[in-house]
Amino acid sequence: MFLMARHVRKETGMRELCLAGGVALNCVANGRILREGIFDRIWIQPAAGDAGGALGAALLTWHQYLGRARQADGMKDSQRGSYLGPAYSNDQICAYLQSQNIPFNELSDEELREKIADLINAEKVVGWFYGRMEFGPRALGARSIIGDAQSPKMQEVMNLKIKFRECFRPFAPTVLRERVSDWFDLEQESPYMLLVAPVAKSRRRDMTAEEQKLFGLKKLLTTRSTIPAVTHVDYSARVQTVTGEYQPMYYRLIRKFEEKYGCPLIINTSFNVRGEPIVCSPEHAYLCFMRTNMDYLLLGNYLLEKKDQKPLEKDINWLKEFELD
């Protein structure tokens, strides 16, 4: 079951579709609807299901019971990138780190972007905790684990050492909104990582005759594009576009990465291990960082390196708490 609204805009003649539940989480179907050309533009509420129901109830109360005016213009996304969760100031983060005697380095905003871009290029895995938490099931650049999509080994490394799941699972790319059509067959924005689109043909790599003869994981893990860590077996990817309006630091990081290393996209996966919810607080983020083989953790403007940390005590059996998904 899902809720759908569709109409033709009088002033532009554009055919528009709004998906508010159910199929909103089926990224392949969403991308197919867009490519079929039935509608000129689609918008998908990113938290379908019970969470979306709570959001709808809040809107019902706000507009109908309290009589607050609706300000939707049909063009601008009023969900503001879905960054609706809690945020922690640098002072709060610093207080937590100092209270636990956790070693860290403080970075300015410019130092932060430079350093993290360099770490990604060096094939390091970084926990990124910055700004207000995302509302919904996807990490959108506030509680994310990030890495280099161009690295042939990053898919396997992040699956086995961070997510503790099968090595072949691909990750999603976050790409600058203005550069998305250069890398994917996608013209519109996809801020909530809910559209699957083909990787642009200019970025693909054809498999050799020898590679075509491979079987199983060997064939599955064959490099298929210049961004192998986010390319599915059918040359598609689950795309997130990002702008500087709602998550400016994350956007500027990727811009810095492109300036220095020529690629306007990075891996973005949720800041958790399989079976766990996405981290919310600095304490949650630090615990996940220490329980995995993440190389670095950014908490606000504070950078932590794994080799500087004291190992956790009495935390051996935590993986048994969660079943494989």
pLDDT in tens, 120-141: 999 999 999 999 999 988 899 9
Sorted by where each begins, the domain ranges of the chain are 4-78, 90-321
Predicted confidence at residue 238, as pLDDT, reads 94
Residue 231 has phi, psi (to 5 degrees) of -100, 120
pLDDT in tens, 218-257: 777 788 899 999 998 889 999 999 999 999 999 999 999 9
Torsion over CA: 227, 229, 235, 239 (sign): negative
pLDDT in tens, 252-273: 999 999 999 999 999 999 999 8
- What DSSP line would sit under 27-45, residue for residue? HHHHHHHHHHTS-SEEEE-
Architecture of domain 90-321: Alpha-Beta Complex (3.90)
Instruction: Using alpha carbons, select from 228, 269, 312, 265 the residue that is nearest to residue 125.
Output: 269
Q: Is-contact 288 277, C-beta < 8 A?
A: no
Predicted confidence at residue 8, as pLDDT, reads 53
Predicted confidence at residue 25, as pLDDT, reads 47
End-to-end CA, the chain: 23
Instruction: Using alpha carbons, select from 209, 262, 265 the residue that is nearest to residue 239.
Output: 265
Distance CA 240, CA 68 (A): 32
Would residue 169 be called left, alpha or beta, if left means φ above 0 and alpha means ψ between -120 and 50 degrees? beta
Would you give per-residue pLDDT tens digits along the chain (325 residues)?
344 555 555 455 555 566 655 444 477 788 788 888 888 778 888 887 777 888 888 889 999 999 999 887 777 788 888 999 999 999 999 999 999 999 999 999 999 999 999 999 999 999 999 999 999 888 999 999 999 999 988 988 888 888 777 666 778 999 999 999 999 999 989 999 999 999 999 999 888 888 788 777 777 778 889 999 999 888 999 999 999 999 999 999 999 999 999 999 999 999 998 778 999 999 999 999 999 999 999 999 999 999 999 988 766 565 555 555 5
Contacts 24+ apart (CB under 8 A), 218-223: 220/168, 221/155, 221/156, 221/167, 221/168, 223/152
Predicted confidence at residue 209, as pLDDT, reads 86
